Amino acid sequence: MLLQLNTKSTLSKKDQVRETLAQNILDGLFEPGSRLPSCREIATQLDVSRNTAVSAYRSLIDDGLVAAFERSGYFVSDHIPRNLIEDTKDPRRKTSKTANPVNLAKRCEKNGRLPADLAVVERPENWYDYPYPFISSQIESALFPITEWRECSRLALSRKSLSLWASDFSYDDSYELVKQIRQRLLPRRGVFAKDNEILVTLGTQQALYLVASLLGGRGKKVAMEDPGYPDARNIFNFTFENIKYIPVDEGGMCVDKQLADCDLVYTTPSHQYPTMVTMTMEQRKKLLNRAHKHDFIILEDDYESEINYATKPSPAIKALDENGRVIYMGSLSKSLSPGLRLGYMVANADFIEQARALRGLMIRHPPLVTQHTAALFIGFGHHDALMRRVRPVLKNRWHVMLESLDKYLPDIRRYATFGGTSVLLQAPAHVHTFDLARKLRDKGVVIEACAPCFSKPDAGKNYFRLGLSTIATDRIDQGVELILETLNEFEA
């Protein structure tokens, strides 16, 4: 370790050594019980006498930070005094004290906005510890074929394939994964693409960011659904000059002349986020016709397309697109695992070329090992098997959920939907769902308050979402009953 003394310190050499060691112990760089450098090492490294080092250690022993053992040397104390560690124990503890700290964050402002100020739907990080976790878009650990994934990962990490994954120079994706996407996934959505019309991304999130960075800019306008996906709004805020919010009805995003002056229209037709409404075929065709007429581009986020219970999935808008007006985004993160962060984008080759170059500047490419593993996983049929296993479970939960809602919350408004991993509900106007969510957590129930999905959070303050991804089927009824009970605690 390269220990260093503070060159501007006015302390004695001994106290400088003591301060440096104490700081490193308190910062957790030397862990309790671990051996510290010998006096000789300290003397050499910090250019002080051995006596100075001995005397610094003596003070640290008095402070309770260090323990000395005869003939073994110095060790970090196992019982560091509480008052000394107080502020370092907090993982969100303050930054180190600096002489005259520069305010770097201030320099990151764009149009008066900071990236960290953006809206997100909140849920507790340890949601899986709650008995009634109504969470959406998550994988359920018990259903994931981990043995199969590990087997694919092992094969992907073979020495034979090392030349493949050791390379960081090319911007190309795993040929095998692109093939699986082209042959197995896209045709189910009615989309037929060539290799150079497909780009692998780090989840849908990255596809969205790439498209927004490429097509956004000064004077550019994007339209999105309201309510809609909060991270899309966050990204557009950072990349477009204007956002136009378009209402959603039972047929999906409303398509009318409002879209005329937009450069890009972002939509989630399979299951509208967060209402889960499916856009009608009629509406899809109307949207494409508008795109031709007003010369805008459609960004189709095929959210939860494969998860339908009541009807067959409709083909993607991209399947109807004959002029390359539609940029299509799909996700493997939802079906495989969100932690893997894999998605894909389909568009004309000339656009994919630009998106690939920009992705290259941002991250080169999504890790090839993960791509390769996913290709094997899909190729061996594990992905299809997983979907076959998950769908009936979700379908059953969905029906149980609707029954429970009919039973306990018949007056609560909900949208008519065919599927998806959640149900959006509108509580009475006097109920703030942030408060509802907080109260419910005390009873072990996790729900998602949906105000952040609305362009005007106030308009959505009484909306909440019940997710089906992680709740045990036999707990749904009781969970919904607890929601009714808690709703009744709010006074009109």
- Site membership for a copy of itself, residue 361 (CB under 8 A): yes
Within 227-267, strands assigned E span 240-249, 252-253, 264-267
Question: Could you tell me the two tokens for 303?
Answer: 């959210």
Number of residues that bind a copy of itself (CB under 8 A): 119
User: What is the dihedral sign for C-alpha 404, 406, 411, 415?
Assistant: positive
For position 348 contacting a copy of itself by CB under 8 A, the verdict is yes
Q: Applying CB under 8 A, which of residues 11, 68, 310, 349 lies at the interface with a copy of itself?
A: 349
Spatial distance between the Cα atoms of 202 and 366, rounded to a whole number of angstroms: 6
- Tell me the closest approach of the beta carbon of residue 32 to a copy of itself, in angstroms: 13
Helix (H) or strand (E) segment spanning residue 448: strand 448-449
Q: How far is the CB of 370 from a copy of itself (least distance, A)?
A: 6
Instruction: Work out whether 311 is an interface residue with a copy of itself (CB under 8 A).
Output: no
The tokens of 485 are what?
A: 């009970």
252 and 278 Cβ atoms separated by less than 8 Å = yes
- Judged by beta carbon, residue 319 or residue 412, the one nearer a copy of itself is 319
Does residue number 168 form part of the binding site for a copy of itself (CB under 8 A)?
yes
**Within positions 407 to 426, which residues make up the interface with a copy of itself, using CB under 8 A?**
none
Using DSSP's 3-state secondary structure scheme, residue 97 falls into coil
Task: Measure the CA–CA gap between 113 and 83, rounded to whole angstroms.
Answer: 38
Which 204-243 positions form the footprint of a copy of itself (CB under 8 A)?
Answer: 205-206, 209, 214-215, 217, 231, 234-235, 238
Is residue 139 near a copy of itself by the rule CB under 8 A? yes
The answer to the question of residue 32 lying near a copy of itself (CB under 8 A) is no
Q: Which of 12, 44, 141, 289 binds a copy of itself (CB under 8 A)?
A: 141
Does the protein bind a copy of itself through residue 260 (CB under 8 A)? no
Contacting a copy of itself (CB under 8 A), which of 103, 430, 458, 488? 103
Site for a copy of itself in 41-100 (CB under 8 A): 88, 91-96, 98-100
CB 433 within 8 A of CB 451: yes
Please identify, using beta-carbon distances, which residue of 376 and 405 lies nearer to a copy of itself: 376
Dist CA 211 CA 265 (whole Å): 11
Alpha helices by DSSP H, listed for 183-300, are 203-215, 230-239, 281-294
The whole-angstrom separation of Cα 249 and Cα 247 is 7
- Residue (67 or 320) nearer to a copy of itself, CB: 320
- Least separation in angstroms between residue 56's CB and a copy of itself is 17
Q: Which is nearer to a copy of itself, 13 or 189 (CB)?
A: 189
Pair 326, 173: CB distance under 8 Å? no
Contact pick of 225, 226, 263, 302 for a copy of itself (by CB under 8 A): 263
CA atoms within 13 A on the CB side of 175: 3
Q: Report residue 171 as tokens.
A: 């911007």
Q: Looking at beta carbons only, is 50 or 188 nearer to a copy of itself? A: 188
Task: Map residue 133 onto helix, strand or coil.
Answer: strand
State the minimum distance, in angstroms, from the CB of residue 189 to a copy of itself. Answer: 7
